Amino acid sequence: MRVVLLGPPGSGKGTQGELLARQYQVPHVSSGDLMRDHVGQRTELGQQVARYLDNGDLVPDDLVLAVMGRAVREAIDEGGYVLDGFPRTLAQAEQAYALAEPAGATADAVVYLSVPDDVARERLAGRASAGRSDDGDADVIERRLRVFHQQTEPLLEFYRERGILVTADATEPPDVVADDIRRALEDRNLLPRPR
């Protein structure tokens, strides 16, 4: 099972990624977690990444691919993946597809976690107060939302054209969202039944 989760910041990608990965027994690969690990360990890559995260900017494609490449390959070797936060740009999606297609490892499904900006703002403000360094003040939150709409939203059409896009209302409680995702994917025969 290979699933990509897309959604604005604060849409619940991490929560749903963990739930799906546990249910289908595949690795949950979070670009945000991997980048924060690099930042926390003060690696050379992490220091480069930190400059973008602190400003609410998207990390450039080459750095994202450097962070994600090995983790995705390892997940494929373990039987699949739930990708959370990758790809985030059309260029990343096209590169990932070009690399995965010859190996038969392209995504089976892409789930778009839809939330209005006001809900995302409220969630991000709550996470910032809980210590997430990449969620910050109102200006950073606004910038992150603007970047999502400009650079990540175009991916929806890319995946819709491939026939693998499913949309879920992510304003509901996490367990309800998880059930909706599972039913939608299974109804469209995009996923196997859970083990």
- The domains of the chain are located at 2-186
pLDDT of residue 150: 95
For residues 168 and 111, the answer to whether their CB atoms sit within 8 Å is yes
| Structure tokens given for 22 | 């546990």
Classify 113 as helix, strand or coil: strand
Give pLDDT, residue 99.
82
Please report the pLDDT score of residue 1 as a whole number: 87
* Residues 87, 174 contacting (CB under 8 angstroms): no
Backbone dihedral angles phi then psi of residue 66, each to the nearest 5 degrees: -65, -40
What tokens appear for 187 in the block?
A: 């109804």
End-to-end CA distance of the chain: 11
Residues of the chain with pLDDT under 70: 128-136, 191-195
The residues pairing with 6 across neighbouring beta strands, listed in sequence order, are 112
This prediction's pTM: 0.88
Q: What is the pLDDT of residue 104?
A: 85
Closest residue by Cα to residue 56 from 157, 118, 131, 145: 145
Domain 2-186 has CATH 3.40.50.300: yes
**How far apart, in whole angstroms, are the C-alpha atoms of residue 177 and residue 18?**
13
Residue 166 bridge partners (DSSP): 111
Residues forming the active site: 13, 88, 127, 132, 143
Strands (DSSP E) contained in 2-158 are: 2-6, 28-30, 81-84, 109-114
Q: Residue 63: which of 99, 102, 89 has the closest Cα?
A: 89
Per residue in 2-29, pLDDT (tens digit) is 999 999 999 999 999 999 999 889 999 9
pLDDT at 133: 54
Dist. CA 164–CA 92, nearest whole Å: 17
At residue 67, the pLDDT reads: 87
Which tokens go with 166?
A: 């499913």
